[in-house]
Structure 1
């Protein structure tokens, strides 16, 4: 299974003050994803709108980002990842964005709600 995570959607699923330090919120999510993914035999990709500066490193999770930051650019990158995957039926996109859910399902992927995924990470 390949999990593609709409990173800011998952971060935003819990109003814990993440907006005061977006970088720290992204680092926490990547750390949580690292821990979760290390226990599984799945590929995990976290998608952001722009590359984090300085870059984040992960030994388990792939950190992807849109080629150019713009509204919905991370969504477009997620759809691109699904449509270029060898088997879209093996992809689970984690998001609660209803438009993105519709787009990736049309491309053959399944979806998982951000809030319940966040609870799985905890």
Structure 2
């Protein structure tokens, strides 16, 4: 909820709708790269995990506070093991930022990412 929650636009009244908005905005944007959105918890109604263009939505599969963070670090570690690609992760979470910095990952704040999306 980092990217969604950085703007107080009422997202908490419709978390599924807010996630859908993020996925739609990301899918409409031409990144030129693969994008993975990792959401906390389990799939929400009408928004299954999967790929939309160059955007993949994954769910953490658990609800504890670091669930999505752990999935992100695991994913980054897998990619790093296979390739030395430039990786960029969007988060405002200090703990996750520290974990990613140790893995030599570029970390971007959610407001700048939302501005990039125009969302």
TM-score class, shorter-chain normalisation, is 0.7 to 0.9
Question: 15, 36, 42: which is aligned to 1:45?
Answer: 36
Q: Give the TM-score, by structure 1 length.
A: 0.84
Which ranges in structure 2 are unaligned for 5 or more consecutive residues? none
1:15-60: per-residue Cα shift (whole Å, max 9, x none)?
0010011011001000001011xx2320000001123222525422
Contact 1:75 1:100 in 2 (8 A): yes
Is the partner of 2:52 in helix, strand or coil?
Answer: coil
Map 1:1-122 onto structure 2 (within 5 A). 8-36=1-29, 39-56=30-47, 58-60=51-53, 61-85=55-79, 86-87=82-83, 89-122=85-118
Comparing 106-115 with 8-17, which one deviates more in the overlay? Answer: 106-115
CA distance in 1, matches of 2:110, 2:38: 13
Q: CA RMSD in A?
A: 1.6
Contact 1:94 1:114 in 2 (8 A): yes
Where has structure 1 moved over 6 Å in runs of 4 or more?
Answer: none
Query: Larger relative contact order (C-alpha < 8 A, sep ≥ 6)?
Result: 1
